[in-house]
Chain A
Amino acid sequence: MLAAQPLAVEYTAASGALSTAWLLIALPALGAVVLLLLGRRADKWGHLLGCATVGISFVLGLWYFFTLRGLGNRSVSLDLYTLIISGNFKVNAGLLYDPLSAVFVLLITGVGFLIHVYSVGYMKDDPGRRRFFAYLNLFVAAMLLLVLGNSFLGLYFGWEGVGLASYLLIAFWYYKPEAATAAKKAFIMNRVGDVGLALAIFILFATLGSVSYQDVFSGVGRMSTTTVTAVTLLLLLGACGKSGQFPLQAWLPDAMEGPTPVSALIHAATMVTAGVYLIARANPLYNASHTGQLVVCSIGAITLLIGCIIGCAKDDIKRILAYSTVSQIGYMFLAVGLGGGAYAAGILHLLTHGFFKAGLFLGAGSVMHGMKDQVNIRRFGGLAKYMPITAATFGIGYLAIIGIPPLSGFFSKDPIIEHAFDRPGWTGWLFGGIALVGAGLTAFYMTRLMVLTFFGKPRWTEDIKHPHESPPSMTVAMIVLAVGSVAAGGLLAFHNALANWLNPVFGGATEQTPAEVAHKIPALAVTALVLVFVLAGVALAVVIFREGTAPQEQPARSVLVRAARANLYADAFNEAVFMRPGQWLARALVYVDNRGIDGLVNGLAAAVGGGSARLRRLQTGFVRSYALTMLGGAFLVVAALLVVRLG
């Protein structure tokens, strides 16, 4: 691997249109504040305001995007105000609008706006719709802050903000115990990752005295290799927590307890890709640490396999999509871990994934909408006839995710697999092989999902008579996302459009175009291999599930199936290793508190009380005994005086 060129980290100050970039964040934040403060008074029009703020943000995002295209130095920073000043420690709240954040802004506000519109129909009968839109606005504001911050501290603010919004939205139906538990699980597992992120920021500050991107990236050369590796690994821990990567992947599938638009927006398209953003943004650090890059690749490869394997064994339509998200983000981690030209490939996959996965989730929500909120694909079947638009848009998303050309997934997943094979040494073969197998497995479980839901004979439960198509407000969003799923990949990959656009961010790293790299396997051969694996997966699933499947889960015949149904024992492991000892510790501490510390305090009080009760008996009420005591005292005083005077 070639060492990356030192990055040009010179940001120009914002002027003209871009000096109003803070509006991007302020609008959704204002929406959230208004909706939360006005309470029920905003129930009637709350959803309209929620859509409007994000919609305007999207329009602004487009405007800024085209302004940025016209600039020479496409990294624009905007200082807002001084956040903290304490001795030498000074933190400016500022924004960085560069090609990377520009595409993220468009993804977040664009997909976010579509999902807001979809939610208007989806949450129509929910009494908490205004609260829902308030939280969605809060999420969009926090996510924009995450990608627009010009320092690790700004990123951390947004990072925690999206965590909060995610928690609030998973627990949106808080009266359901599963939803409340899932929200807590998500929050706690994210906290594990956030500790890593916080520690990484502390180390950066301790070493370089600053946490702004500009100072950190230009100061990479002054840090020792060990420090850089430590920082990269800690950042990776944070990224794993937020993006549901191994070993912190268990919260993401449970997060599907939230409303489906939330799953689409937060737990598929945007928030869970924040980890990928973090690693891509910190690319100068990762370029300086080969260990860090290797670990990122390994985590990505492990996770993409885990996601595929579990995805094959699940029956819950949203859980399958959730595990496929885990797996696809694994691909992105693999890509950004490979470094060099693969950074752009990872971001490309992130963008196309944002389109087709959001579309798939909205399709799943539409299916649930028509099937009385059922999620078990064993009890679906034959829905294509009743929900043609849903089936068509879902089908396009399906073809995109398994990587059939010329849909978007093909243009983004294929380069990642090529880059994986190009990694020098045996690790290249390993990562490439895993990515290849993953592509086949993805095709298998997605085909299973598609066939069991939309084709074959109906296996519905008795209470479902007439499944119906969803209202236009929902289907419009699905159609737009389907168009994106078809076109985004080809457009962004055309003449390396996205890679060239992102060049200022990834610096010299992307200048080696794929053609200049000596391929171990010719690119065409890799593409052919991938297609063979994908088609094999599709064919296998079609053969097995053509006739439908049993309406109940059958006993597992092999160890692998049993393990996959139990989420590869990740939950069992967490419970045995972290939860139970935690409970024991809590119980032991309660015991020590009750018996030890409370015992000491209560014992002291009891001793004083008991002693006083006994001393009280001296007060007999007989005047003559008091007189005797006084006499004795007088004698004592006289005796003492005599001893002192004469002795």
Chain B
Amino acid sequence: MNPTWYLILAAVLFIIGAVGVLVRRNAIVVFMCVELMLNAANLTLVTFSRINGTLDGQIMAFFVMVVAAAEVVVGLAILMSIFRTRRSASVDDANLLKY
């Protein structure tokens, strides 16, 4: 199978993620879109690793997963505390930090 398709799939996933971050208001969905973009990047890394026949990209992908897991923990904790105080998970409602 041609590895190019994996790359195209990764690009599509990334675009879906980016658009989701920009257009969705629900913080949970935005969060999932961020995860989508991270995993698109992982897919790209693994694909290039396969193309080049080295393991560097695959190792990198593991690191990204670990960091993403840690980020999810922190992000969800913030989300929980925002929801408790504001009774809303909309990112547009959390706009106190402005001019």
Contact = CB atoms under 8 A, between A and B. Distances in A.
B84 interface: no
A372 interface: no
B79 interface: no
A619 B99 contact: yes
B94 interface: yes
Contact of B98 (A621, A624, A628, A631): A621
B97 interface: yes
Contacts of A628: 22
Contacts of B23: 624
A617 B92 contact: no
B57 to A, nearest CB: 19
Contacts, number: 31
Given A616-B99, A619-B99, A620-B98, A631 B18 contact: yes
A38 to B, nearest CB: 66
Residue from B23, B25, B95 whose CB has the most chain A CB atoms within 10 Å: B95
A620 B95 contact: yes
Nearest to B96: A621
Interface residues of A, number: 11
B91 interface: yes
Which 8 residue pairs spanning A and B have beta carbons closest together? Answer: A621-B98, A621-B95, A616-B99, A623-B91, A619-B99, A619-B98, A627-B21, A628-B22
Interface residues on B, range: 10 to 19
Nearest to B91: A623
A624 B92 contact: yes
A617 B91 CA distance: 19
A622 interface: yes
Interface in A610-647: 616-617, 619-624, 627-628, 631
Given A616-B99, A620-B99, A622-B91, 4 more contacts: A620-B98, A624-B92, A628-B22, A631-B18
B22 A631 contact: yes
A623 B98 CA distance: 10
A249 B39 CA distance: 99
Contacts of A624: 21-23, 25, 91-92
A615 to B, nearest CB: 9
What's the dominant secondary structure at chain A's contact region?
Answer: helix
Interface in B63-99: 91-92, 94-99
Interface string A512-555: 00000000000000000000000000000000000000000000
Contact of B22 (A616, A617, A620, A627): A627
A625 to B, nearest CB: 9
Contacts of B91: 622-624
Interface in A54-111: none
Contacts of B92: 622-624
B78 to A, nearest CB: 12
A623 B22 contact: no
Interface string B14-46: 000010011101000000000000000000000
A627 B91 CA distance: 12
B38 to A, nearest CB: 14
A374 to B, nearest CB: 77
B87 to A, nearest CB: 18
27 contacts: A616-B99, A619-B97, A619-B98, A619-B99, A620-B95, A620-B98, A620-B99, A621-B95, A621-B96, A621-B97, A621-B98, A621-B99, A622-B91, A622-B92, A622-B95, A623-B91, A623-B94, A623-B95, A624-B21, A624-B22, A624-B23, A624-B25, A624-B91, A627-B21, A627-B22, A628-B22, A631-B22
Nearest to A627: B21
Interface in A565-585: none
Contacts of A627: 21-22
Contacts of A617: 99
Contacts of B21: 624, 627
B79 to A, nearest CB: 12
A631 B14 CA distance: 12
